[in-house]
Amino acid sequence: MKIRPVILCGGAGTRLWPNQKKHQAKQFINFGNWTLLGKTLERVKGSIFDNPVISTNAKYLKQVKQHLKKHKIKKYKIVLEPAKRNTAPAILSTALIKDIPDNQPLMFFSSDHLIEKVNIFNNAIYKNKSNLTDQNIFIFGIKPKSPSSEYGYFLTKKVKGNINKVTKFIEKPKEAKAKQVIKKNGYWNSGMFFLRKDSIINNFKKYQLKTYKNCLDAVNKAKYKSNTYYLNKSSFLKATAKSFDYAILEKTKQINAIKLDIPWSDLGSWKEILKMYDKNKRKYIKRKNIYYRPWGKYTNLFEGNEFLIKELYVKPKGILSLQKHHHRAEHWLVTQGNAKITLNKDIIIKKPGEHIFIPLEAIHRIQNPGKKPVKIFEAQVGSILKESDIVRYQDIYGRKTNVKKVTK
């Protein structure tokens, strides 16, 4: 029996847009002729997989179908959540549809993860298929590249059959604690799950019986049209709003880990997005998008929907003007050299790999006090991403100050 891929595609991705009421969900963002959902759909075309099931909501239904058409996936099912109830009801309701046999292995993907070395990833899934039972759950761990407070971690111990049993979860620790966890061979918790349908049912019956009954009722009363299950709203709303982690993983003892050492990111912050563009910048650089300034130069790499990615090159002793913006915030990731940054009344030194957020209306500047160039990846985020949105206070190169329509 093939593995059924289930793609969870209901998240709003609000971490990237904290101050905007209207924003684009992360899985649908065009990062340069590709989206994270598109990457996920391509990933589940592998020979080990059955036809996909997508869990989403009415707001995203049109975009999901557009992606399915673009990626030439004709056989699929969609389960439409009528309200936000977190991942536990979403996972259970999707598993309960009649199209999925009771003992079929289900691989739950997030729609907004960037995974490289897909063959290694898929081989790890297939290799552990025979280890699934009607009770256990496999989760995926990624070997940390650095101590990060953006991800949760878990610890494991080996048991019979070379299985890695999860012994402890650590929820997004501070950097100092993350270093200790990594020394103990801790792995990032990727938030992906691999288990059989009957395991989902048995675990929910044991630990979340009320949610099980309500989700079963929501599926049984669902309307079906054009490959889409429209879950019954009144029944679904009665299900307890909990994440799968809190509802099931924190209660069951039968959690095993598939540990991987592959490039992976959930692109959950602009820092991670800037790292991705830095790694792949050769794909985006065009000569016509390079602009020279007295302090150095900048390159426009990609302009998306309300965001613009740049690389700044600040020559030794170069100083940008002291400025602010009315319509955009900025995220900076230093990739080379030590940058001296003014942020309102503070002076901050940022080293390679370090990130800083420049809020809307904050007065700021970049200086390179060193003898080597400073490189910074910049994400501009806002409604207006033009060079005209600059209020300049000071400039050592004699450019006009206190006017908006100027160049950076």
- Tell me: the pLDDT tens digits for 268-283? 899 999 999 999 998 8
Contacts of 226 (CB under 8 A, 6+ apart): none
Q: Is the pLDDT of residue 187 over 70?
A: yes
Domains 4-268 and 271-394 share a fold: no
Cα dihedral: 298, 301, 302, 303 (round 10)? 10
Per DSSP, helices labelled H in 265-396 are 270-279
Distance, CA of 285 to CA of 133 (rounded, Å): 49
Distance, CA of 361 to CA of 323 (rounded, Å): 9
Domain positions in the chain: 4-268, 271-394
Which pLDDT band, with edges at 50, 70 and 90, does 404 fall under? very low
The 10s digit of each residue's pLDDT in 341-377 is 999 999 999 999 999 999 999 999 999 999 999 999 9
CATH 3.70.10.10 for domain 4-268, yes or no, is: no
- The pTM is what? 0.92
HSE-up (13 A, CA, CB side) for residue 176: 0
Residues 271-394: name the CATH superfamily.
Jelly Rolls (2.60.120.10)
The 10s digit of each residue's pLDDT in 92-122 is 999 999 999 999 999 999 999 999 999 999 9
Coarse DSSP helix, strand, coil percentages of the chain, rounded to the nearest 5 percent: 25, 35, 40
